[in-house]
Amino acid sequence: MASPNAPPSDLRNRLLLALRPEDLAELWPQLEPVDLISRDVLQVPEQPMQAAWFIETGIVSMLATLEDGDSAEVGLVGNEGVVGLPLLLDDDRDDLEGIVQMAGTGYRLPADAFRAALERLPALRRLLNRYALVHHGQVARTGACNGRHHIDQRLARWLLMAHDRTEGDTVPFTHEVLGIMLGVRRAGVTVAAGALQKAGLIRYGGGRVTITDRPGLEAVACECYGITRRARDRLFGLPPGEIPYRW
């Protein structure tokens, strides 16, 4: 029987799984399992961060909010990542909001414990430095994508990113939320989603989107999805095109 203080066999966070067993064993007693409730705020803009959050299931959106109250997603974190990167970079706050968009589970590591672990475990710092670069690339690519590509391409990209981070083929998102994620009006999402549904790539209704033809959706998405996907695969040592990124 496994020790109650040992990592579970069904651990899903890829950063934790990428650690050496001895490093994970040292870190594990300080990780607090938590439920991530939809609309929970894990990172408050301009406020000191109390913890880092390793995501197991669900999706966290990193949002930039403007003076007029409009928000747009600039980054997305799922089971491949952690929320709280400023703590890694010797700061304790950011101007972005980290909000749970799809409920799930994760592990909370208090800020002081996180900083101490970075000092004790050089391999953890190296891994998280590499993840920070991958996440930065996703943020930069999202900005370029939202500024240059058509809404249907951007919606396809976002749905693929969400699909990578969920177990099934259905994600619970309304047109209003998708509009915030893409920085467009709800009407634009409605038109784009309608086109994808008419093409047989998705089915939507009742606040849910079901991906029915993933290869077709990949063909519609702009190159931004493939670029960020390949960066993630390199981080975790996955041969491109050979090992599925999903569970």
**CATH number of the domain to which 38 belongs:** 2.60.120.10
SS3 readout for 68-135 = CCCEEEEEEECCCCEECHHHHCCCCCCCCEEEEEEEEEEEEEEHHHHHHHHHHCHHHHHHHHHHHHHH
**What is the model's pTM?**
0.92
Range of the domain at 215: 150-221
Amino acid (1-letter code) at residue 143:
G
Q: What's the CATH number where 161 sits?
A: 1.10.10.10
Q: Is residue 247 part of a domain?
A: no
- pLDDT-derived band at 178 (thresholds 50, 70, 90) equals confident
Would you place residue 243 in the very low, low, confident or very high pLDDT band (cuts 50, 70, 90)?
very low
> Of 145, 160, 185, which marks where a domain is finished?
145
Query: Is residue 108 within 8 Å of residue 34, measured between CB atoms?
Result: yes
Tens digits of residue pLDDT in 112-152: 999 999 999 999 999 999 999 999 999 999 989 988 899 99
Residues 138 and 166 in one domain: no
* Residue 156 shares a structural domain with residue 57: no
Whether residues 136 and 39 fall in one domain: yes
Number of domains in the chain: 2
Instruction: Check whether residue 82 and residue 96 sit in a common domain.
Output: yes
Residue 226 domain-assigned (yes or no): no
Domain annotation covers residue 239 = no
The domain boundary residue, chosen from 145, 168, 190: 145
